[in-house]
Amino acid sequence: MVPGATLHGLGVSPGVAVAPVAQLGEAIAEPAAADEVPEDRREAEAARLAPAVAEVVAALRADAARSEGETAQILEATALLAADPDFAAGAAARVRAEGVSAARAVWDEAEAQARLLRDLGGRMAERVADVRSVRDRLVARLTGADVPGIPDRAEPFVLVARDLAPAETAALGRSRCVALVTEEGGPTSHTAILARALGIPAVVGAAGATAIPAETVVLVDGESGTVQLDPPERQRAATSEDPPEFDGRGQLADGTPVTLRANVGGAVDAHAAAAARAQGIGLFRTEFCFLDRAAEPTVPEQVAAYRGVLAPFAGRTVVVRTLDAGSDKPLPFATGADEENPALGVRGLRVARTHPALLSHQLTAIADAAAQEGAEVEVMAPMVATVDEARDFVAACRAAGIARAGIMIETPAAALLSAEMLAVVDFVSLGTNDLTQYTMAADRLSAPLGALNDPWQPAVLRLIGTVGAAGRARGKPVGVCGEAGGDPAIAPVLVGLGVTSLSMTARSLARVAARLRTVTADECRRAAEAALGAPTAVEARAAAAAVLG
């Protein structure tokens, strides 16, 4: 590697960090396939699998219990994968039929599953790392080997790996890791999700990253997706300053208010957001009540769960998104398993067409929880495409006693009809991740299409501008709760396009607030106009930067 060289990947978690490189530990060695187990010992060899599985599941669940938020959820999901009886049965069958060791049977069974996931593509292909993580833990238990882990170092470091499993990524929060670079992975891999939750700058899909020599100092830019080797001293110094803590007042340099809220997925996230002084919750994902269940949770169960999120924000605004089932979040009691293209199928509000009681029960629970905790609840529906859908949803909210109802702007149809939508709803919130994938016809779960899934794409910016103009004309709030909301680079442009509030992970609040306090409303508008006039995403980013400095 040449000093000063720059590797390019996909920035999946914003921020900039400089530190020496540390590589992930040695991978688990592939068990030998040549040693055949005698027939009279095969049953005993197969019997070794059950206790190994139990130990791995217990260790993962113990890690989950010590973690919080999305980290805990992902570790628990990995534990469920390890506990899959079909996987253990398949490995045991290989021992009995082929005479291979238990460790080799686990390896072969995992590789078979990995091939299947790769062939499915998209989000499923990104789960290959999860399968291999379970494989390595099981093989380690069966052979007495050590499981690769995060380096235990006293000084800050940038972790470089081919890819990371959920359990490895979860351990980053307990290490001195300040940034993450992988050769594989996509924008919605567990690596990306947890890096954003931890506030660690991350770049995935950076070809050649694992060839960077250990201890090489690198500058990782999680916004631009670049990894610079041996950066100049002036660049290193510029990244060493942390932004001041968010003081709970989102505003521009000229005093123009911009509300900064937090995205949460449960009570732990809500308490972290309150501690970070978020000005409310801009996106409360309610799916945690419904996932991994065979039947719909009862209204009392939902009320109890929602109260845990609302309690830290009594007297403040909490924007609740109703169940966003379907697509990558299927539910056995609500969504079909045989849709050819679930991202364009029955998801979000569309589920209520065939399961109206599901929405009715949830709205009742939200209203009850809000009344008990004294939170100022606003409720919005995901995946809205028509004015009739918006009107019907508002009527359902009013019937449940919910005063303020809005919609997510995730489809180009909703963006183009935003003036008509805002005539019937109280507010809108832009889900920039889905809006981008539907505008660009590029699956946001696909790593090769990462460049298209960029909110700087001019077509996306123009749709956001259409919504912002409609909000200004109607005098109604326009929020952003997608990934773009927590990106300090694009935040001023969003404000210039007419966005009145931004919602993000709690760890992003300080950086976004600090950036907004360096620009005026006029500069935001001029930066937005410059970006809107650009023909490409790269030029839009550059045009805005030229205005903002």
| 28-37, 200-209, 331-340, 395-404: range with lowest mean pLDDT | 331-340
Q: What is the mean pLDDT of residues 49-75?
A: 79
Q: Which amino acid makes up residue 260?
A: L
242 vs 307 pLDDT, higher one: 307
190 is catalytic: yes
Lookup: tokens for 218: 């690198």
Which class for 36: exposed (0-12), middle (13-18), buried (19 or more C-beta within 10 A)?
exposed
H or E stretch at 269 = helix 267-275
Rounded Cα–Cα distance for residues 533 and 531 (Å): 5
pLDDT-derived band at 236 (thresholds 50, 70, 90) equals: confident
Evaluate whether 530 touches 546 at the Cβ level (below 8 Å). yes
- Token code pair at residue 83: 């506990």
Segment 23-39 shows an average pLDDT of 81
CATH superfamily assigned to domain 6-25+149-238 = Phosphohistidine domain (3.50.30.10)
Domain 259-548 maps to which CATH number in 3.20.20.20, 3.40.50.10300, 3.20.20.60, 1.10.1060.10?
A: 3.20.20.60
Single out the residue of 379, 293, 383 nearest to residue 332, CA to CA.
293
- Condensed to tens digits (0 to 9), the pLDDT of residues 494-510 reads 999 999 999 998 888 99
In DSSP notation, 159-226 reads: EEES---HHHHHGGGGS-EEEEEESS--TTSHHHHHHHHHT--EEE--TTGGGSPTT-EEEEETTTTE
Which of these, 335, 332, 356, lies nearest to 345 by C-alpha position? 335
Burial of 419 (0-12, 13-18, 19+ CB in 10 A): middle
Q: Average the pLDDT over 184-190 and give the result.
A: 69
Name the DSSP class of 535: S
Helices and strands (DSSP H and E) totals, the chain: 23, 16
Q: What's the first-to-final CA gap in the chain, in angstroms?
A: 32
Dist. CA 166–CA 190, nearest whole Å = 6
CATH architecture of 39-143: Orthogonal Bundle (1.10)
Is 524 an active-site residue? Answer: no
Q: Specify the 3-state DSSP secondary structure of 334.
A: coil
Please state, in angstroms and rounded to a whole number, the distance separating the CA atoms of residues 412 and 437.
Answer: 10
Q: Residue 418: what residue type?
A: S
Domain borders along the chain are 6-25+149-238, 39-143, 259-548
For residue 329, what pLDDT band results from cuts at 50, 70 and 90? Answer: low
Higher pLDDT, 234 or 221: 221
Which is nearest to 410 in space by CA: 438, 386, 390?
438
Amino acid at 447: A
Residue 239: band (very low, low, confident or very high) from pLDDT cuts 50, 70, 90: low
Catalytic residue among 190, 271, 355, 361: 190
User: Can you name the residues that pair with 405 across neighbouring β-strands?
Assistant: 379
Q: Is 149 left (phi over 0), alpha (psi -120 to 50) or beta?
A: beta
Residues 423-448 pLDDT 10s: 999 999 999 989 999 999 988 766 67
Q: Which candidate in 177, 289, 397, 481 is catalytic?
A: 481
pTM of the model: 0.73
pLDDT at position 535 over 90: yes
pLDDT reported for residue 14: 77
Question: Mean pLDDT throughout 373-384?
Answer: 96
Quote the distance between the C-alpha of residue 214 and its chain's center. 29
Give dist(CA 437, CA 453) in Å, integer: 6
CB neighbour list of residue 86: distance below 8 Å, 6 or more residues apart: none
Query: Smallest Cα–Cα separation from 366: which of 278, 281, 476?
Result: 281
Q: DSSP string covering 141-165, please? A: HHHTPPPP-----SS-EEEEES---
Contact 438, 410 (CB under 8 A): yes
Q: Please determine, for residue 529, whether its predicted confidence score (pLDDT) is greater than 70.
A: yes
- What digits encode the pLDDT tens for the residues 451-505? 788 899 999 999 999 999 999 999 999 999 987 898 888 999 999 999 999 999 8
pLDDT for position 345: 80
Gap between the Cα atoms of 286 and 408, Å rounded: 14
Among 25-29, 156-160, 166-170, 318-322, top mean pLDDT goes to 318-322
